[in-house]
A and B are shown apart, each in its own frame.
Chain A
C-alpha cells in the first residue's frame, strides 16, 4: 500500500507547493488534490490557511502543463460544494487566469481549466457573465460549438448561472443559442443534463423564447424534453421536468395537456425515493410546479402526494435539505384546498411539522412554519382549536425569539393564522406567553418582522371580547400603535390601521380606545387618509371611521369634522376625493361611512346631512347611483334613502 499522504503536516505541503522545482510542485499539488477531493473538512482547513489557495492559483501561470493541470484540478475541488472555497479561489484571482487557459494549446490544460470554471459557476458566488457584450457572446458560442464535453458543459453552466433577466434571455435567443442547446439535448449524457438546466434558465419568465422552443422543428425539441422526463437516469428525469415546469410557469397554455402535468407529478414523486441529490431536489421542483395553482394542487392531491410525503417523513431521519423540500411542497399542496388540509391532519403530519419547528437548520424551521400557515387556513379546524395547543404553540412562540429574522417572519405568518380563533381560546395564547414577544417584534428594525407582528396582533383581537382587546391595546400602548400607523412602510400602516379597525369593532365602549391620549391614534389615521398613496391604507382607514361613526353623537361628530374641510376653506373635502377613487373597495367604504353618519334615528343626523350637502357630498353621491360596482350602488341607495328619511324626521 502506498504511504498515507495524510501523515504529512500541512506546513510541509505548503513549502513544497511554492517550490521552484516543477516536479516537486507537481507532486505537492497532486497530493493536495487527493487530500481535498470529497473532503469538506480538509478543504475548509486549507482555505483557512490563507496562503494555500493563492499559492495554487499562482501555479496556473507555470510553464509546465502538468503543473497547470493539477493546479486547475485543485482549484476546481476547492470551489466544489464549499462557498468559502469559491470565495478564496475568486479572491486569489483564479477566475481570469482560468478563462485565459481555456484557449491554451494543450488540450489537457483546456479540459482541466474548463472543468474548474464549471465548478466555480455552479456556485452563486461566481461573477455574473455578461451576455450583452458581443465579445463575451462570441466566446460563449465558441464554447458551445466546441468538441470537448467540458467546454460545452462550461458554456451551458454559464447560461444556467448567469441568465436571469429578459434582456439576457433575448440576447441569447437572438444569438442562436437556443438552437445550440437543442443540439446538445441529443448529445452525451452530461451534455444533455447541462443543456436541460440551461434551457430552464432561458425559459424562466420568457414567453417569447418559449414559443420559439415549442414550435421549433415542428415541436420536435419539445417532444425530446418530454421524452427525457422518462429517461433511465433520475437526474435527467428531474432536469427535464424542471425544464417543462419553467416553461409552464411562464406560458401556462403551452401545451394544454393536463395528462402531461399529472404524469410529471408522478415522475417527481417517484424521484423522491432517490437517496441522493436528485431526491433532495425533487420536492422543490414539485413545489414550483404547484405553487399558487389550485388545479395542479388538486392533481397532486389525487396523486397521493400527501400520503407519500407523510410516509417519507415518518420513515427515517431525513437530511435537512430534503425535509425542507418536503415541508415546502406540503405547504403548497395545502395552501388552497380544504381536502388537502383534512388529509394532512388525518395523517397526523401536524405533529411532524411541529417537531420540525425545533430543527437545527433554519431553512427547515421556515418550511415547517409555511406548512403550518397553509394548514391553519382551515377555518373548520381553526375553530375546533386544532392548533391552539402545546404541541404547536410552544415551539411556534419560541421561534419568535429566533436569531434569524426570516424564521421570525415565517413563524409570525403561521401564528397570525392560528390566532384568528373564533372561539374563546384566545386567552390560552396569553398563557403561553406569546403576546410579549409580539409586542416586542412590532417595534423591530426589520419592516417585514414589524409587519407580521402587527398582523398577528390584529388577528388576535379579531372578534375578541372587550376586556381582552383592552388588555392587548393598553400593553401595546397607544404611542407604539401611533408609530406603526405612521410607519414608512405602507404595508405596516395598512395592518396597524386594520388593528384599530378590529379594536373599535363591536360595542360603543371599544370606540373610546381611539380617543385615548388626546386621540393621537384617531388623528394619525385621518392624516394617513389625507396623504396615503396606497388605496389599501385608505380602505382600512375609512373602515375605522365607518366603525367609529356607528358610535354615539360625539363619535359621529368627530368623524364628520375630520372629513369635511374647515369652514371658509376652498380645499376639496377628503370625502369627495375618496368618493371619486377608482378603487371599488375604497368607494364602498367611503359611502358606508356616510351611511353611518346619517343614520336617521340618531339626534344629530339632520344637521350632519346639511353639512355634507353643503360640502357637495350628496351631489357626488347622486352621480354614483349607477356605479359600476354593485356594492357601491347598494350603499349609495341606502345613503340617498336615509337622506330623505332625515329630512322627513326633521320636519
Chain B
C-alpha cells in the first residue's frame, strides 16, 4: 500500500538520523527525498480514493479519463450516495431514508443507531418547520418505541422533545440540535454507513497520510533539525532551525 510505504521511508530516515544528531541541510534533505521513489500510479490511486470517498463524481470521472486510474467503486453508486447525503443536508430526511432503503435495505435494518439518528433528524426538521403536532405524533409513533429498546436512544429522544418546551428554540439549552451542523453530522453518519456497506473505507486515505506525516515529523523533531513541512497546502520545506 502506497501510504504505508511513504511512512516507512520517513521512519527509515528517522532511524538513520537517530544516532547522528547533526543538522540536516535543505540540500541533503532534498537529495534524500529524491531517492524516495513513489510510483505515479500510487499517487493517482490516492487522489482517486479521495475523490470517490468524498463523492466528487464529476472530478473522479474527469480524473479517470485523464489519468487512466480506475476507481475502486462503481461511480453510479457514488451518485446515489451523494443524493442521500444531499437530501439529509437539505432537511429532506424521509426522502433520504427511502433512497438508502432502495440502495440497500440492510443498512438501516442492521444499524439501529443510524436509523434512530435519521428519525431524530426527521423530527428536528418537523419542529424547525413549526409542525408541532406532527412532530409530537411522530415522536410517539416512531421514536418512543426505539427509546424503549435502547436506554441511550431514550436520553437523546428526551433532549429532542425538549425543543418543544421552549418558545425561543434558538436560545434554549438543546438549541444546537437545530443547528446546520446537526444535519451535517447525520449526513456524514449515513455517508459512512453506505460506504461501509459497499465494503469501502469510510474515510479517504489522504488525510490519514497527512496525519502520519505530521506524526513522523514530531517524532523526528526530538532527534534532529531538518527542513520541516509546516504549511501542508504548499508542502514548502522550511530551512532547518539551528
Contacts and interface: CB of A to CB of B under 8 A. Distances in A.
B108 interface: yes
A188 B129 CA distance: 42
Contacts of B199: 149, 188-191
Contact of B105 (A4, A37, A275): A37
Interface in B125-145: 125, 129, 134, 138, 141-142, 145
B145 A2 contact: no
B182 interface: no
Contacts of A119: 106, 109
Contact of A1 (B111, B113, B125): B125
Given A1-B125, A119-B106, A317-B151, A34 B113 contact: no
B149 A40 contact: yes
A76 B101 contact: no
B115 A1 contact: no
Nearest to B141: A6
B101 A6 contact: no
Interface string B92-112: 101101100110111011111
B2 interface: no
B191 to A, nearest CB: 16
B150 interface: yes
B145 A73 contact: no
B101 A4 contact: no
Contact of B145 (A1, A39, A77, A275): A39
Nearest to B200: A189
B196 interface: yes
Given A40-B149, A80-B109, A275-B113, A189 B196 contact: yes
Given A33-B101, A191-B199, A38 B108 contact: yes
Given A1-B125, A2-B95, A319-B151, A38 B145 contact: no
A81 interface: yes
Nearest to A3: B94
A80 B115 CA distance: 14
B125 A38 contact: no
Contacts of B108: 37-38
A37 to B, nearest CB: 5
Chain A, interface size: which category? 20 to 34
Nearest to A31: B98
A424 B67 CA distance: 87
B196 to A, nearest CB: 7
A255 interface: no
Contacts of B109: 37-38, 76-77, 80-81, 119
B93 to A, nearest CB: 8
Interface string A444-473: 000000000000000000000000000000
B219 interface: no
A276 interface: yes
Contacts of A191: 199
Q: Determine chain B's interface SS by DSSP, over half rule.
A: helix
A81 B150 CA distance: 15
Contacts of B196: 189
A4 B125 CA distance: 13
B98 A34 contact: yes
Nearest to A74: B105
Residue among A4, A37, A149, A319 facing the most chain B CB atoms (10 A cut-off): A37
B152 interface: yes
Contacts of A317: 151
Contact of A39 (B94, B95, B98, B142): B142
Given A73-B105, A76-B106, A80-B110, A40 B94 contact: no
A185 to B, nearest CB: 13
Contacts of A77: 105, 109
Interface residues of B, number: 34
Contact of B106 (A6, A115, A189): A115
A275 B97 contact: no
A41 interface: yes
Interface centre among A1, A40, A115 (most CB of B within 10 A): A1
A77 B115 CA distance: 14
Contacts of B138: 4, 6
B92 A1 contact: yes
Interface string A252-293: 000000000000000000000001100000000000000000
Interface in A59-85: 73, 76-77, 80-81
Contacts of B110: 80-81
A462 B28 CA distance: 85
A294 B242 CA distance: 59
B156 to A, nearest CB: 12
B150 A319 contact: yes
A73 B100 CA distance: 12
Interface in A308-340: 316-317, 319
Interface string A126-164: 000000000000000000000001000000000000000
Nearest to B106: A115
A149 B106 CA distance: 13
B166 to A, nearest CB: 23
A607 to B, nearest CB: 77
Nearest to A76: B105
Nearest to B125: A1
Nearest to A149: B199
A81 B92 CA distance: 27
A242 B142 CA distance: 36
A385 to B, nearest CB: 36
A316 B197 CA distance: 30
Contacts of B119: 38
A34 B151 contact: no
A34 B97 contact: yes
B4 to A, nearest CB: 13
B145 A40 contact: yes
A623 to B, nearest CB: 70
A6 B142 contact: yes
| Most chain B CB neighbours (cut-off 10 Å) among A38, A188, A275 | A38
Given A2-B95, A77-B109, A37 B101 contact: yes
24 contacts: A1-B91, A1-B94, A1-B95, A2-B92, A2-B98, A4-B138, A6-B142, A30-B102, A37-B97, A37-B109, A39-B145, A73-B101, A77-B105, A77-B109, A80-B106, A80-B109, A80-B110, A81-B109, A81-B110, A115-B105, A115-B106, A189-B199, A276-B113, A316-B151
Interface of B: 91-92, 94-95, 97-98, 101-102, 104-106, 108-113, 115, 119, 125, 129, 134, 138, 141-142, 145, 149-152, 196-197, 199-200
Which 6 A-B pairs rank lowest in CB-CB distance, beginning with the nearest? A188-B199, A38-B115, A189-B199, A73-B105, A38-B108, A80-B109
